[in-house]
A = this chain, B = another copy of it.
Amino acid sequence: METSTKDRILDTTAAMFRRYGYTGTGLKQVVQRANAPFGSLYHHFPGGKEELGGEVIRRSGKMYEDLVMAIFASGATLEEGLANVFSGAAAVLRETDYADACPIATVALEVASTSEPLRKATVEVFDGWIVAATLRFVTAGISETKARDLAIGMIAALEGAFVLARATRSTEALEVAGKMSLLALEAARG
């Protein structure tokens, strides 16, 4: 138990955001689950829920970027890596009873029309993903403009498949989205 109170609060909030969303996550529940006194929350995050939320979005977003990019780089070929991203996401969903998909998608939709600071935090995350994925495609020899489209298409397909998969409790959409992304890659390679 060497984690700090602040880290426990951040980790707990991240886990709750993923399943219950932003408005669905209560600060009292957070400190209870994190085994932290209520006052510590406002000591570490004077800006309250919005400040905590912003840090969690950026932190979860970066961690997920690292995870996905590692899987993306895991394949022997670019195609294999791309396929692994979708099959890996499907495996995690099945293992977590369709709870753990994108860590910020629910929150991103919730705050898009309700909090500018939080919306901007989600944009930073998505931009980071797009840049990272674009770089991967470019490194594999694809032109900059095509690479960006592939990156955005892959992320959109993944996010959309997550919506369908979490609702239906099936990974069918992830398999279809994976195949569709591979097709786009094929076309870009010409």
Contacts and interface: CB of A to CB of B under 8 A. Distances in A.
B110 A106 contact: yes
A173 interface: yes
A119 to B, nearest CB: 6
Interface stretch (A33-41, A73-81, A136-144, A162-170): A162-170
Give the interface residue-count category, chain A: 35 or more
A153 interface: yes
A153 B176 contact: yes
A105 B159 CA distance: 11
Contacts of A109: 21, 105-106, 109, 163, 166
Number of copies: 2
B113 A167 contact: no
Contact of A180 (B108, B158, B172, B184): B184
Highest count of chain B CB atoms <10 Å: which of A155, A167, A187: A167
Contacts of A8: none
Contact of A176 (B23, B110, B149, B177): B149
Interface string A145-163: 0000100110111111111
A13 interface: no
A156 B184 contact: no
A152 B123 contact: no
Contact of A163 (B20, B105, B167): B105
A49 interface: no
B108 A166 contact: yes
A98 interface: yes
B20 A114 contact: yes
A159 B164 contact: yes
Interface string A113-129: 11000010011001100
A189 B159 CA distance: 26
A175 to B, nearest CB: 9
A176 B156 contact: yes
